[in-house]
Amino acid sequence: MNRLMLTAVTVLSLAGLAQAEVTEEDLAKDATTVGDVLTNGMGRGLQRFSPLETLNKNNVKHLVPAWAFSLGGEKQRGQESQPIVYDGIMYITASYSRLFAIDIKTGKELWQFDARLPEGILPCCDVVNRGAAIYGDYIYFGTLDARLVALNRKTGDVVWNKKIANYKEGYSYTAAPLIVNGLVITGNSGGEFGVVGEVQARDTKTGELVWTRPVIEGHMGTYKGKESTMTGTLNATWPGDLWKTGGGATWLGGSYDADTDTLVFGAGNPAPWNSHLRGAGKPVEGNKGDNLYAASRLGINPENGEIKWHFQTTPREGWDFDGVNEVVPFISRDGKKRFATADRNGFFYILDREDGKFVAAYPFVKNITWAKGIDKNGRPIYVEENRPGDPTAAADGGKGQQVFAVPSFLGGKNWMPMAYSQKTELFYVPSNEWGMDIWNEPISYKKGAAYLGAGFTIKPLFEDYIGSLKAIDPNSGEVKWEYKNSAPLWGGVMATAGGLVFVGTPEGEFKALDDETGEVLWTFQTGSGVVGQPVTWEQDGEQYVSVISGWGGAVPLWGGEVAKKVNYLNQGGMVWTFRLPKQLALAQ
């Protein structure tokens, strides 16, 4: 591993000034403190809302660059990370499983860790990393060869390095870890390779496994080194042995609802994509073809990994509508504790926080074709003729009937995190308006090989835009305003008490919008597409905003006609940090 280290004198001087270790209490308060950013999502509930209001609608035009840091070299590609800020240092992960420590006052590199990636890694959707976690004196992040690494946050030295899964079988890891009560909790990636989705919890100090929870029925969980319980009921919703390679990768990580002491993780697409092979291709009695718990949200006990509840957004899934998108706790207008999640399938769901039960669902993208709506129990009302056809019914034994489906398999919303404003009580959802030609093909499982059984081409729905940032009222599903963008939106969103919504575009523009109207109030050209996740904090009495810029992710690799439309965009790798000067804080 190659690392650029501080000199011994600098390390010692930093250690003398260092703050205390990060505690569970610090993590629990992250959403309300303003001097640091300790968790992915700016709080473990993932609301991505800052109570800071120094920077506001009147003065955001005075926001200026403070420093910029280049990730350098040839290792560019997609930069989807969110910064962690603590003790005068910013920690940022980058493509190809790298982690940088940066002085937040100067933008100077303090140290760098490069994971030694083996030949033959199999990341499906670019070489991205979405962020780190901090606890005690350690900084944690995952690698593309499905490992979890703990580093000393002051020096970058490796404390422990643990294997999550076997990368040769198609597993990888790209999400930011989640830390709760001294456990570092991870999912896994690799759903296109017939892997089995799983959530793991490890001791933060040693990296030793405490519990594991596979999320596909029939697999056994573990607790403290011994088998605990089976996930679901063997063959209850899967035919034959397909559960053994059933997919459901937990590749986006999870959130934590402290009020109910519940981890909430999403499970990705079932494998293979060809739903006819899984008994889900046509209506069946009961829920035999639902393929639990793929395309679902799961409430998990953080102490032992037991499943408390589940809600499946797309039973009988056949379009690659992963169920991994973040689940965000909020309080509804009538005072009820609710979850909100904007699904890849194009519907915005409201669930009860106590038991995960369905409350409501609203379409948030246009022209949905695969379902007419969602029934009173939360199940889709399918349009069966818009399911990709069964290839075994084809006269030549080739591909099944092709359909045009909306949204595309990249989703009404993909991984890019939404924000919730406690000020406006609106969710700000980065979405895309696109569809796809999709068809099924014969497929058989081979370890380490793609396991789709489908072909596809993504197409834009409208000539003038694909990306759409929508302000959604979770109490009614009403879209209060919409900001349209020519290229797809693929980065995270942040809201602030100052009345601002920050978002980046693939065209390189980092923007601040009015949270009530969607009007663009400030923009800055970063030089490459923004698919990262913005954060804000207060330092020396001034408000700062940071975002990572660097075009990439799944769109250029999987986007079909959409990828051709944006192939002029340049790659990059830059951390941009902006500040509102004190003397301009009151300026109009």
When pLDDT is cut at 50, 70 and 90, the band that residue 78 belongs to is confident
Rounded CA gap, 238 and 243, in Å?
Answer: 6
Residue 531: pLDDT over 90: yes
Domain 24-586 has CATH 2.140.10.10: yes
pLDDT digits (tens, 9 = 90+) for 391-407: 988 766 678 999 999 99
**Beta bridge partners of residue 373, listed in sequence order:** 381
Catalytic residue annotation: 320
The answer to whether the annotation marks 440 as part of a ligand binding site is no
Q: What digits encode the pLDDT tens for the residues 365-379?
A: 999 999 999 999 999
Go through the chain and tell me how many residues it has: 588
570 marked ligand binding residue: no
- Indicate the pLDDT class of residue 527, thresholds 50, 70 and 90: very high
Q: What is the pLDDT of residue 18?
A: 58
Question: What gap in Å lies between CA 500 and CA 503, rounded to an integer?
Answer: 10
Is 80 known as a binding-site position? yes
Residue that wins the pLDDT comparison between 101 and 571: 101
Q: Is the separation of the CB atoms in 257 and 240 below 8 Å? A: no
Q: What is the mean pLDDT of residues 191-209?
A: 96
pLDDT of residue 307: 98
Looking at the predicted structure, is the pLDDT value of residue 503 above 90? Answer: yes
Average pLDDT, the chain: 93
- CA atoms lying within 13 Å on the CB side of residue 540: 8
Q: How far is CA 316 from the centre of its chain?
A: 23
pLDDT at 390 over 50: yes
Whether residue 434 is annotated as binding a ligand: the answer is no
Is 269 assigned a ligand-binding role in the annotation?
yes
Render 249-302 in DSSP notation, one character per residue: --TT-EEEETTTTEEEEE---BSSS-GGGGT-SS--STTTTS-TTTTEEEEE-T
Q: Which of 185, 247, 241, 245 is nearest to 212 (CA)?
A: 185
For the cut 80, the answer to whether the pLDDT of residue 588 exceeds it is: no
pLDDT the model gives residue 122: 85
Residue 439 is labelled as binding a ligand: no
Cα 240–Cα 201–Cα 356 angle in degrees, nearest 5? 65
pLDDT tens-digit readout, 336-389: 999 999 999 999 999 999 999 999 999 999 999 999 999 999 999 999 999 999
Q: What is the mean pLDDT of residues 315-331?
A: 97
DSSP 200-254: EEEETTT--EEEEEE-STTPEEEETTEEEEESS-TTSSS-TTGGGG-B---TT-E
Percent of the chain with pLDDT over 90: 85
| Mean predicted confidence (pLDDT) in 161-177 | 96
Provide the percentage of residues in the chain whose pLDDT is more than 70. Answer: 96
Mean pLDDT throughout 553-560?
83
Domain ranges of the chain: 24-586
Structure tokens at 248: 């459901």
What would the pLDDT profile of 269-282 be if each residue is shown by its tens digit? Answer: 999 999 999 998 87
What is the structure's pLDDT at 1?
45
The pLDDT of residue 7: 36
pLDDT mean over 192-220: 97
* Predicted local confidence at residue 396, as pLDDT: 66
Was 325 annotated as part of a binding site?
no
Residue 255 has pLDDT above 90, yes or no: yes
Closest CA to 486 of 570, 408, 569: 569
**What is the reported pLDDT for 556?**
84
- pLDDT of residue 53 exceeding 50: yes
Q: Does 130 count as an annotated binding residue?
A: yes
Which pLDDT does position 8 carry in this prediction?
A: 35
Dump pLDDT digits (tens) for 121-145: 888 888 899 999 999 999 999 999 9
At residue 5, the pLDDT reads 39
- Check if the beta carbon of residue 571 is closer than 8 Å to that of residue 551: yes
- Is the pLDDT reported for residue 13 higher than 50? no
Q: What is the mean pLDDT of residues 314-329?
A: 97
Picking from 522, 502, 506, 512, the residue whose alpha carbon sits closest to that of residue 559 is 506
pLDDT of residue 74: 65
Tell me, what's the pLDDT at 14?
Answer: 43
Would you state the pLDDT for residue 294?
A: 98
